[in-house]
């Protein structure tokens, strides 16, 4: 019984590892919708903190996103 469970656990771990490698190679974690959600989350964080250094970093992230994803997210006014 333990042998069978061990085989299943090993199979799941191997499949998970392979999926992680494939995802990394295909840059699935770096797709435009995923990056857009990350930026939206960061904008909400900035609205709470109003940290000017965070704002500058976020504007840089927005600019890179707009260039890579052919988008037009408006940059923040850090002043």
Each residue's pLDDT tens digit, 41-70: 999 999 999 898 999 999 999 999 999 888
Whether the full predicted model's pTM is greater than 0.95, yes or no, is no
Q: What pLDDT sits at residue 2?
A: 66
Q: What pLDDT sits at residue 27?
A: 64
Question: How many C-alpha atoms does 7 have within 13 Å on its Cβ side?
Answer: 4
Q: What is the dihedral of CA 49, 55, 61, 66, to 10 degrees?
A: 110
The crossing angle, in degrees rounded to 10, of helices 32-49 and 52-69 is 160
């Amino acid at each position: 019984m333990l042998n069978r469970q061990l085989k299943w656990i090993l199979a799941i771990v191997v499949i998970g590892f392979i999926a992680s490698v494939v995802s990394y190679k295909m840059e699935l974690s770096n797709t435009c919708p995923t990056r857009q959600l990350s930026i939206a989350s960061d904008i909400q964080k900035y609205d709470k903190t109003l940290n000017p250094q965070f704002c500058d970093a976020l504007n840089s992230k927005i600019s890179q996103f707009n260039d890579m994803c052919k988008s037009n997210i408006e940059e923040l006014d850090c002043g």
